[in-house]
Amino acid sequence: MPWTQSAPGQDGEGEVNSEAEELGPDDVAGDGVNPEMGYEEGDAPAGTAAGAATAADERITALEADLGEVKDRFLRSVAEMENVRRRARLDVEEAHRFANSRLITDLLPVLDNFLRALDAATQTDNLAALQDGVTLIHRQLEDALERAGLSRISALGERFDPNLHEAIMQVPAEEGQEPMTVIEELRGGFRLHDRVLRPSLVKVTSA
Q: Considering the domain boundaries, does residue 144 fall inside one?
A: no
Domain harbouring 159, CATH code: 2.30.22.10
DSSP string, 33-75: B-TTTSSBGGG--THHHHHHHHHHHHHHHHHHHHHHHHHHHHH
User: pLDDT tens across 78-131, in order?
Assistant: 999 999 999 999 999 999 999 899 999 999 999 999 999 999 888 888 888 889
Q: 23 or 174: whose pLDDT is higher?
A: 174
Q: What integer pLDDT is reported at residue 155 of this predicted model?
A: 95
Tell me how many domains the chain contains: 1
Torsion angle in degrees (nearest 10) through CA of 121, 123, 127, 129: -90
* CA–CA distance, 142 with 137 (Å, rounded to integer): 9
Instruction: Report pLDDT digits (tens) over 125-151.
Output: 888 888 999 999 999 999 999 999 999
Gap between the Cα atoms of 31 and 2, Å rounded: 19
DSSP-derived pairing of the beta strands 182-187 and 200-205: antiparallel
In a domain, 160, yes or no: yes
Domain that holds residue 189: 150-207
In a domain, 189, yes or no: yes
101 bridge partner residues = none
Report in angstroms the alpha-carbon separations of 118 from 105, 123, 134, 137: 21, 9, 9, 12
Whether 168 is covered by a domain: the verdict is yes
Could you tell me if residue 118 is inside a domain? no
As a whole number of angstroms, the distance between CA 170 and CA 60 comes to 89
Decide if 20 is inside a domain.
Answer: no
Mean pLDDT, range 171-192, rounded to an integer? 93
Bridge partners of residue 115, in order along the sequence: none
Sign of the Cα torsion 25, 30, 31, 37 reads positive
pLDDT higher than 90, residue 66: no
∠ CA 180-185-191, nearest 5°, is: 95
The pTM of the whole model exceeds 0.85:
no
Contacts with 163 (C-beta within 8 Å, 6 or more apart), sequence order = 196, 199
Domain membership of residue 187 (yes or no) is: yes
Residues present in the chain in total: 207
Q: Is residue 163 part of a domain?
A: yes
The greatest distance separating any two alpha carbons of the chain, rounded to the nearest whole angstrom, comes to 172
Over the chain, what is the mean pLDDT?
81
